[in-house]
Amino acid sequence: MSEELTPRALDALRRLEELRRADAPTHGGRVLSYVYDSGLAEIDEIAARAARLVQPVNGLDPTVFPSTVAMERDLIAFGRRMLHGESGVVGNVTSGGTESCILAVASARDTAGASPGAGSVVAPTTVHAAFAKAAHLLGLELVRVPVDPGTGAVRVDAFTEALREDTVLAVVSAPNYPIGAIDPVAEVAAATSARGIPLHVDACLGGWALPWWGDTPEPLPEWDFRVPGVGSISADLHKYGYAPKGVSLLLYRDRDRHRAQYFGITDWPGYPVVNPTLAGSKSAAALASAWAITETLGDVGYRGLVDRIRRATESLCATVDSVEGLRVVGQPRGPVFAVASDADSGTPIDPHVWANAVRERGFTLQMQPSMLQPDGTVLARTTHLTVTPVTETLLPDLEAVLRAAAEEVRGAPPAAPPDALAALSEAFADGSVSAADVLALPGEAVAGALAAAGLDPRKGTAGSAGEAGEDLDMATVLAAVEALPRPVTTRMLVEYLAGLLDE
């Protein structure tokens, strides 16, 4: 095949291979976030072949490309069974979790008849940032309800109190990303049903794992369509469905809520437009990959993979809890968990300094900042681990690394922000600078402040081979996020990421 390519084409592919060498490893379980490795080589191969078969297809018009309808119907049916939905449960395949969340909010807003700027979405502080994005895009207010810092699950009384006249949608997670706790879905559903407010369960993360989690050591609380008040559920195929990125499932109990998700227009001089999702023309590649994977794995395949994840998660949590100075937050019931400093220990370990020491030993964990909740309680800074089937094969190595890293950094001080940003933080504290001052600065000035703090997106980029961000010490970055007003840090990170693309 490759013999037929021209030298220029072969050269482009060779350069792409070179560029890919700068990327984090997507397979082998050494990166415990972002990537979901089934550990089955066949899964990657069928995903690639299925994507190739639909490569030129435009998923925009299912009447012209009925293969897309057939695959989407099968995935909806699989999801409906998996999530215990009745036959009337309907939905769509979307391009990912964020799009599923945005569409769930959009259809709720339009069903409720709220005009832009006039409604609210009520969700725990731990709800995925995709709902903040949805509220932002759709002109709604996101009301964030505190979770119990001990368990990471939202408190039902606080949630019930937060529901408002103008609430178009309530959202809970199964489980949430930052802590891995499953919110009390049934109790929240009782409260939202009584108020006539639809409830969305964000199972983007757990949707393709929890259905096979099993009954040990204690059954999971019910969180899917078995709970009467649950109106819609999102479940990402590109996470524990093991499909390549670009595919998620969004299901509704209410047919008309689903119809409200569609955008259609016949009042223009072009073809009649009827779009269930945000894109117009769209690839069918991830849809086809997801379809082929679910057809191959089926219920039995997923169950086997979940068994591996569950065993690995239980083992890792036990290991972390046995380390003096660290603790697992709450009782995670699913494939992700968070590690915090054990304040009760005489020798607490900073989870971010620990993550850096783990990284030096070849495993990448994900640092998460602390958060002040609206009720004044604080969610501690943590380090997140996403566990996948392949993790089990690495357990002895990984657990030895987690322990050795802890021994190395026990008693070490937490990471501090870069000097220039620590000074800026003092300026905020003494009132000589306000967040509004910084937000009003032109982008060039923000970029200058970043460069002064040693955060120059153009440094560390090795030509077009792109090793951008290589030198970024995330522990100091997150220390800055915690020390500065959050909107200021958002602005800085936007400037940094956008700066990666500048000349």
Binding residues for ligand PLP, rule: CB under 6 A, are 96-98, 101, 128, 130, 173, 177, 202, 204-205, 236
Q: Are 258 and 108 within 8 A, CB to CB?
A: no
Give the C-alpha separation, 389 to 314, whole Å: 13
Quote the tokens at residue 434.
Answer: 């306000």
Shortest distance in whole angstroms from residue 55 CB to ligand PLP: 22
Shortest distance in whole angstroms from residue 294 CB to ligand PLP: 17
Give the residue with the Cβ less far from ligand PLP, 34 or 423. Answer: 34
Let me know how long the chain is.
Answer: 503
Shortest distance in whole angstroms from residue 51 CB to ligand PLP: 18
55-93 b/e (C-beta count within 10 Å ≥ 16 → b): eebebbbbeebebbeebbeebbebbbebbebeeebbbbb
User: 151: exposed, middle or buried (C-beta count within 10 Å: 0-12, 13-18, 19+)?
Assistant: middle
Give the residue with the Cβ less far from ligand PLP, 60 or 205. Answer: 205
Shortest distance in whole angstroms from residue 379 CB to ligand PLP: 16
Phi-psi region of 55 (alpha: psi -120 to 50; beta: other; left: phi over 0): alpha
Give the residue with the Cβ less far from ligand PLP, 330 or 348. Answer: 330
Give the C-alpha separation, 252 to 263, whole Å: 17
Residue nearest to ligand PLP (CB): 97
Give the residue with the Cβ less far from ligand PLP, 176 or 356. Answer: 176
Shortest distance in whole angstroms from residue 174 CB to ligand PLP: 8
> Who's near 341: CB < 8 A, 6+ residues apart?
325, 326, 327, 348, 349, 350, 351, 380, 381
Shortest distance in whole angstroms from residue 442 CB to ligand PLP: 31
Give the residue with the Cβ less far from ligand PLP, 201 or 475. Answer: 201
The DSSP symbol for 146 reads: P
Give the residue with the Cβ less far from ligand PLP, 133 or 361. Answer: 133
Q: Are 110 and 234 within 8 A, CB to CB?
A: no
> Who's near 95: CB < 8 A, 6+ residues apart?
246, 247, 248, 277, 278, 279, 282, 286
Give the residue with the Cβ less far from ligand PLP, 68 or 173. Answer: 173
Give the residue with the Cβ less far from ligand PLP, 208 or 302. Answer: 208
Shortest distance in whole angstroms from residue 100 CB to ligand PLP: 7
Quote the tokens at residue 457.
Answer: 């997106």
Question: E-assigned strands of 174-285?
Answer: 199-202, 230-236, 248-252, 263-265, 273-275
182-197 b/e (C-beta count within 10 Å ≥ 16 → b): bbbbbbbbbbbbeeeb
Give the C-alpha separation, 476 to 415, whole Å: 6
Shortest distance in whole angstroms from residue 180 CB to ligand PLP: 10
Give the residue with the Cβ less far from ligand PLP, 179 or 353. Answer: 179
Give the residue with the Cβ less far from ligand PLP, 240 or 349. Answer: 240
Consecutive H or E run containing 12 = helix 7-20
Other CB atoms within 10 A of residue 364 CB: 16
Shortest distance in whole angstroms from residue 204 CB to ligand PLP: 3
Task: Give the residue from 263, 475, 268 showing the smallest Cα distance to 351.
Answer: 475
Shortest distance in whole angstroms from residue 34 CB to ligand PLP: 9
